[in-house]
Amino acid sequence: MKNGEVIRLTGISRHFKVGSETVKALRTIDIVINRNEYVALMGPSGSGKSTLMNILGCLDTPTSGNYFLNGQDVSHMDDNQLADVRNKEIGFIFQTFNLLPRSTALENVMLPLVYAGVGKAKRLELASKVLDDVQLSDRVKHKPNELSGGQRQRVAIARALVNNPSILLADEPTGNLDSRTSIEIMGLLEVIHRNGNTIIVVTHEEDIAKHAHRIIRLKDGLIESDEINTNILTVAGHLRVK
């Protein structure tokens, strides 16, 4: 693993048995992503995009090939080992937010720290800080049904950041948001990237992908193109993230 690399995929394939047929969702994928890159992963339905996202997020393991995350080969780990890697190394941002409905914003953000065995005082300190970073310090005691869609996604982003993960993996992060709120969330991701985080956004929307600095397109389980984005969309920088 070279210095600066956070992800290295070599010869990754993923095959599924469907009845008597074998579906080759991914076929020989090779990708290197360096620390502090901002990458969009794109592709139509059936391209292998979701399968690749699940492997990157340690939610699934490949049929063949190797996946190195921060120098550690996670390709053939068991479920318990993968759960540990997910909690320590990966911050997830989902289209549907995936917040616990009966828990406050603060409690939702603290959850990864509970799994990591962090003490209560430190959990409160870290969760309060990231909620302040995403401008929700006045909503810490609110439950998800008391928050707007944009605020819920900010809670989800704070939860993804609280463990200081190696990568942020955002799956259609604006899919359930209106246009104005989508722009706010993409602006927040820009600030988080400027602060040194590695971000991978999985999206089918060109406008969302154009915020990334690199765009990888999949088709039929293969990389169709992997290019630097020379026309990066940015959001006016009025958001505050420490």
Task: Report if residue 119 sits inside a domain.
Answer: yes
Domain encompassing residue 129: 36-63+87-228
pLDDT at 240: 46
In a domain, 26, yes or no: no
1 in a structural domain: no
What is the reported pLDDT for 45?
86
How far apart, in whole angstroms, are the C-alpha atoms of residue 202 and residue 49?
8
Strand pairing of 64-69 and 72-73? Answer: antiparallel
Burial class (CB in 10 A: 0-12, 13-18, 19+), 176: middle
Q: Report the pLDDT value the prediction gives residue 139, as an integer from 0 to 100.
A: 95
DSSP letters for 19-57: TTEEEEEEEEEEEEEETT-EEEEE--TTSSHHHHHHHHT
Residue 120 falls inside a structural domain: yes
Total residues found in the chain within this entry: 242
Rounded to two decimals, the pTM is 0.90
Which pLDDT score, from 0 to 100, does residue 175 have?
A: 87
Residue pair 32/7 in contact (Cβ under 8 Å)? The answer is yes
User: Looking at the domain assignment, is residue 182 inside a domain?
Assistant: yes
Residue 103: inside a domain? yes
Q: How many domains does the chain have?
A: 1
- Say which CATH number the domain at 155 has: 3.40.50.300
Instruction: Please report whether residue 137 resides in a domain.
Output: yes
Cβ proximity of 159 and 109 under 8 Å: yes
* Beta-carbon contacts of residue 233 (< 8 Å; ≥ 6 apart): 186, 207, 210, 211
User: What pLDDT sits at residue 115?
Assistant: 87
Q: What is the pLDDT of residue 3?
A: 54
Mean pLDDT of successive 10-residue segments in the chain (242 residues)? 81 94 94 97 92 94 96 92 92 90 96 91 95 93 95 94 93 89 91 93 92 96 96 68 43
Nearest to 40 by CA among 161, 170, 158: 170
C-beta of residue 211 within 8 angstroms of C-beta of residue 180: no
The per-residue DSSP string of 153-199 comes to HHHHHHHHHTT--SEEEEESTTTTS-HHHHHHHHHHHHHHHHTT-EE
> Which residue is it, tokens 């259609």?
172
pLDDT in the model for residue 236: 57
pLDDT at 238: 42
